[in-house]
Amino acid sequence: MPKRLDLVGQKFGRLVVLKYVNNDKCGNARWLCRCDCGNELIIVGGNLVGGYTQSCGCYRSDRISKIRRSDLIGQKFGYLIVVKDVGNNKAGRSQWLCQCKCGNEVIILGHRLISGVTKSCGCYRSEMISKRSRKNLIGQKFGKLTVAEFSYVRDEASYWLCKCNCGNECIVVCRSLTSNNTKSCGCLHKEITSKMCKARIGKDNPVYKHGLSDTKAYDNQMNSKRRANIRNQTPLDADFKKIRSIYLFCEILNQQVEDYEVDHIKPISKGGLHHQDNLQILRSDLNRRKSDKITNEYIGITLADIEREDCVDVS
């Protein structure tokens, strides 16, 4: 096996060999080197001796950067003129201060200028979008809106000053006009809403019945209907004297202690009968809570309580 060359201390380009590290899988010696820029890296000895590796990579970046700097100052790329070099960024790429046709100054990466990716400070793109957007819109009519003039560009969208038939002026984005999403300054929506509201009032309303809901005549009609329901649900064996006695006792209670009502234990609406055995006297607040429920939770004064001599204390 040939003796390994000692490269420690020797310099190859920008690299100084510090020490031997080990051999790779192919048996090539690897050396720890320090570059003039301060970076340390491990390199195969053959690449050092043969001159294939002379730096950590900074030499190539500097050489490319120098070549580009010598060629870019004063050159024009689209709307941009290169004014001066402002150094490299953190990634080692050259940056250039450029003046745009519109007067703005911007810093652009050199490779974006050379490749044609960047041609302006951003105004060129806005102009192109604006020109494409302005085609055939001035004078056109969209619903109640007539396009009067171009207004501005924002977020790559053009906005237009429009005049409505009602006399108002408004600024509308192009896509809302061409897609018919916007047809007026807002007055069209108000008109449609007003017509819908009018359609809901009176005989034009689909659920219109008589229009007397808030009148006394309607209240009398509903009370009559309820009384008719009670009569229809009054069985033949009902004792009207006993029924009247329950109502009479309720009136006496209200003269002494207010807020008592006669209640159907099983509500009329649930099929209950207007019978003395289905009636009770209940406090008004309890009657409201009971509503039309079928429940034993709310127990009041029944006919049996009234007929007993030791009637319950209702105070």
pLDDT digits (tens, 9 = 90+) for 214-232: 666 667 667 767 776 777 8
Q: Work out the pLDDT band at 32, boundaries 50, 70, 90.
A: very high
pLDDT score, position 64: 62
pLDDT score, position 86: 86
* pTM higher than the cut 0.85: no
Q: Where are the domains of the chain?
A: 11-56, 60-121, 126-189, 235-307
Query: Does the pLDDT at position 71 exceed 50?
Result: yes
Query: Do residues 299 and 280 lie in contact, with contact meaning Cβ atoms separated by under 8 Å?
Result: yes
Q: Which residue has the higher pLDDT, 137 or 168?
A: 168
Mean pLDDT of the residues in the chain: 80
Query: Does the pLDDT at position 98 exceed 90?
Result: yes
Range in 20-24, 72-76, 190-194, 307-311 the model is least confident about: 307-311
